[in-house]
Every structure is written in C-alpha cells, then in structure tokens.
Amino acid sequence: MDQPPPPGPPRRARIVLAEAGRRLTVREHTRAELTEGTRIGDAMVRGLVRAQLALALRLSLVVVIGLGGLPLLFAIAPTLGGVTVFGVNLPWVLLGIAAFPFLVAVGWLHVHWAERNEQDFTDLVQRPER
C-alpha cells in the first residue's frame, strides 16, 4: 500500500543553472565564434574566403596562360599556324575544339579543390575535443 509522505515541510530542491559553470568545449567555442560573428569567427571565415579566392585566381591564371598563350605561340612560330589536323588548321583545332575540354577540366578541378577547402574548414570547426 501507499504510505503517506512524512509529516513536515516538503524537502527543498536545489536548482542550479547547468550552463553557468560548464565550460564550452573547443567545438562549441569555435561554433559560437562563428555564429556570434566575433573577431575570431570573422577571421576564420575571411581565411576560407581568402583560400577560395586564391584558388580561383590560380586557376584563372592557368586559363589565361593556357588559352591566351596560344595566339602568342602562333605569332612566335607562324609555321605552326599552317599545320593542319584532319584538314583543319591547328589554331582552329586548339581554340575551337580543344579549348572546351580544357575549360571543363579546369572547372572540375576548381569545384574539387573548392570543396576540399570547405571540407578543411568544416573539419576545423567540428574537430573533436582533445
């Protein structure tokens, strides 16, 4: 059978803010830096943006040298301009046909490396505690 509660005043319950004394973990601290927009979080985001910009500039330089250098090559060596491939002049083959696979390859590399940069940033933010 149920026993009645003991007579007297009810027991006091101690209520403590659980978050007040608890220190943030490294992961939580890093996430807080990002979400609150602190100077450290802003520096981390600027670092990611700087890495993405550097990647874009490097690959743009590859495209400029790769495609922009062809007219210079044909100006320096005019005999190459007269070479025919499958009945079409070499400059037309390189600039009209071969340029597209080159641009697709550079685009694929950019996406792959940009995703790697973002994954590195995500790993930095979500790294486990030590």
Domain boundaries, the chain: 24-125
The answer on pLDDT for 90 being more than 60 is yes
Find the distance separating the first CA and the last CA of the chain, reported in whole Å.
Answer: 52
Residue 74: how many other CB atoms lie within 10 Å? 19
The answer to whether the CB of 113 falls within 8 A of the CB of 105 is: no
pLDDT for 120: 87
pLDDT for 108: 96
H/E element, 84: strand 84-85
Q: Which residue has the higher pLDDT, 69 or 17?
A: 69
pLDDT for 123: 82
The model's pTM is 0.65
